[in-house]
Chains A and B, each alone.
Chain A
Amino acid sequence: MHEITALQYALEKRGRRPIVVVEKPVLATGRTSDMPVVCNLTASRALVARALGINDHRSAAPIYAKKTGTPIAPKVVSANDAPVQEIVHEGAAADLTLLPALKQHTFDPGPYLTAAHATTYDPDTGVDNTAIQRCWIKGPGRMSYYPYPASHNNRNMRKFWARGQDCPVVFWIGHHPAVLMGTQAKLGYPESHWSACGGLIGAPLRVVPSRTFGDKIMVPADAEIVIEGYALKDQSEADGPFGEYTGYSGPQVAAPVVQVTCMTRRKNALYHDYGSGLTDMLVPDNMAMEGKVYSLVKAVAPSLVNVHVPAQGRRFHAYLQFAKPGPGEVRDGLAAALAYRRLKMVIAVDDDIDLFDDSEMMFALATRVQWSRDSFTIDGLSGSLLDPSTAAGAKTLSKMAIDATFPLPPSPGAPSPVPPRSKVPDAALTAAAKVLAGVETADWPTL
């Protein structure tokens, strides 16, 4: 079952990001599944932006921040109006091994659900939470489930366990990419993702009571597949190693065990898989991060105009773009971004630098930074301990900010006290483009 993930790697190597559909996937047992696998659904920033109704992916950060910050409450529909409950398998009839779950990377011990949106609720307030969290299918009705220790789902689970109860949990798989993006909104605790989804899609998200938990846990009515069950109190088993977003294989951990009570699905369900650590998974998460970072930084630095969280930086890097920042504003913005747990390095640039072009970012770093003056590090901030560079036993990270902006003009209307960028007139560029139009350049050297 590594072949589908291998295809994604091959496509990435070629710089191509199409959606991949495998109509007749072969299961680990050798049997062919009738349920198609869809992957690479969100590998392309351009396609994800289009799914959100955004013309240019470069403008996603402020739009995502605005839409998810304008919540629309979900709409509850009946089971008869919920495609995801067209087929219901309860008890022993619910068989996880019939799903075409993939074994992606060499150290992965078995087939994993990688696009399972785990929904739990806070027993104190009843507010639900949703996050993509991995599950290793261990048997027909049993899987390990790894809610990262800092996650809101983990907090909910521990609250149930502290009451001596198993934790109700529902996993739903597959939906419109805009809904998938909505569930990646970075919210406070406790705060439901359904309303952020509604804001992003501009309409109430249709939800239906789950079969096992009723209206205590709703599920998206238009999802493809739902798995319902309990994270068993104080039961842990080995989970992983697992290929992570860092591009490295994360270590084996002790993870909760889920006992499945019910599975529902559409009649012609598609099974969605995220290529873990590939742009397929990084792009939607990073675009959602752009919205979060935009909101955080904009609150202290109004001259912020854009944010890019590049896939090649995993989740650790962010680029901030400013237009005519006031004194201290860039550093205020850099400090605000560093406080966001996921980020480890933040670079600020001017609005003449293309945030989405690494050669432009390197140009800014090469020509606008004196390191002792324009960079600062802060130790002891929260961050991802999956970062292979952290010290053994560390609980916090060392983070860095770089101000790669130029100084402002000394007075309004005056030129900045820096040299102008070299350029040729626009008319000459247009003429050059005409010269090259229609010329075959495929054999010309690129390096």
Chain B
Amino acid sequence: MSKPVIEHIPAGAPWEKTGNTSWTQCPSCKGWFHVGPGILNRPEVKLHCPHCGCDFAQSEAARIIKAG
């Protein structure tokens, strides 16, 4: 499966709120769930979809939207 494009939420000015939570989309059920920066920095750790129970590598995610 091709590597998903990681979409970055651009940082704004210090007084602009941009959020701090990254989300990924399950390749199987298309459900979204939130992931921490630590696990995104470790591509060898498979992600686990809490909606359908599917385990998948980051490179298999339908989408990843990364904060920061």
Contacts and interface: CB of A to CB of B under 8 A. Distances in A.
A392 B48 contact: no
Question: Size band of the A side of the interface?
Answer: 20 to 34
Interface in A385-406: 388-394
B68 A251 contact: no
B39 interface: yes
B3 interface: no
B36 A392 contact: no
Interface string B45-65: 111111001010000000000
A108 B45 contact: no
A169 B64 CA distance: 35
Most chain A CB within 10 A, of B35, B39, B49, is at B39
A324 B1 CA distance: 69
B19 A252 contact: no
B17 to A, nearest CB: 8
Contact of B47 (A252, A389, A391): A252
A240 B22 CA distance: 14
A252 B67 contact: no
A241 interface: yes
Contact of B46 (A237, A250, A388): A237
Contacts of A252: 33-36, 39, 47-48, 50
Given A107-B50, A236-B45, A391 B18 contact: yes
A94 B49 CA distance: 27
Contacts of B34: 107, 241, 249, 251-252
B20 interface: yes
A109 interface: yes
Interface residues of B, number: 26
A391 B67 CA distance: 9
A392 B34 CA distance: 13
A251 B47 contact: no
A252 B67 CA distance: 14
B27 to A, nearest CB: 15
A154 B38 CA distance: 15
B5 to A, nearest CB: 18
B29 interface: no
Given A388-B20, A391-B18, A253 B38 contact: yes
B6 interface: no
Going nearest first, the 9 A-B pairs with the smallest beta carbon separation are A392-B68, A109-B50, A392-B67, A238-B48, A251-B36, A393-B68, A392-B20, A251-B34, A254-B39
Interface of B: 9, 11, 17-22, 33-39, 42, 45-50, 53, 55, 67-68
Given A238-B47, A391-B18, 16 more contacts: A108-B50, A236-B42, A237-B45, A238-B45, A251-B21, A251-B36, A252-B34, A252-B39, A252-B50, A253-B39, A254-B38, A389-B17, A391-B68, A392-B11, A393-B20, A393-B67
21 contacts: A108-B50, A109-B49, A236-B42, A238-B45, A238-B46, A238-B47, A238-B48, A238-B55, A241-B33, A251-B21, A251-B36, A251-B39, A252-B33, A252-B48, A253-B39, A388-B20, A388-B21, A389-B17, A391-B18, A392-B9, A392-B67
